[in-house]
Amino acid sequence: METINFTPLGFSDLTSDEAFVVSVFRHWQSCGSTCKEAEGSLTEMLKNDRLREGLLSLFDLFGTLPDQNRRRTKNDSSVLTSVEEALLDEIGSLDTMPRGCVKAFQQVLEEAGTTIRPASEIPRSGYDHLAEAVDRKTAKVFDVLYPGFSGSLSYQS
């Protein structure tokens, strides 16, 4: 099924556990100079999280996704990328023969009393996409009305 015609998914469309998975993935992609460095950082940061037992399975799954070895700059967008949607699809799939890493993470989710929905089953509000478009246009108008203003802000004593 082609997702180009859909409104993009945003963080406001996700449950907290779905947002957790996407946030962990973004950190894994952007933190440190290697995936292993990011994994160490995440393991330390999330040592008290209820889903921490599934981190190794998530890391294994991340390694199978497109652009797996490509380090990316931090993504601050509240709109999900196609790779992030594919991640939710993979974890939320009811495939009877999932990959081992997916099955292991699904087990952790089940033990925690939660699930991850496939991206195709998540209602898309369009809120995040609209909010980002409004923010971009507002920034352009501000730059036209007050050129150079944002660069001149500094603390003066």
| Nearest one of 21, 42, 24 to 91, comparing CA atoms | 21
Amino acid 68: pLDDT: 58
Tokens of 33: 């100079």
What ranges do the domains of the chain cover?
A: 11-145
Amino acid 77: pLDDT: 83
Residue in this structure with the two tokens 């998540």, named with its chain if needed:
122
DSSP for 67-106, please give it.
Answer: TTT--------SBPPHHHHHHHHHHH---SS--HHHHHHH
Tokens of 30: 């952007």
Amino acid 149: pLDDT: 73
pTM (2 d.p.):
0.77
Q: Are 22 and 80 in contact (CB under 8 A)?
A: yes
Q: Are 118 and 93 in contact (CB under 8 A)?
A: yes
Where the chain has pLDDT below 50, the residues are 1-4, 152-157
Q: What residues contact 78, with CB distance under 8 A and at least 6 apart?
A: 10, 11, 12, 128, 131, 132
Tokens of 108: 């952790």
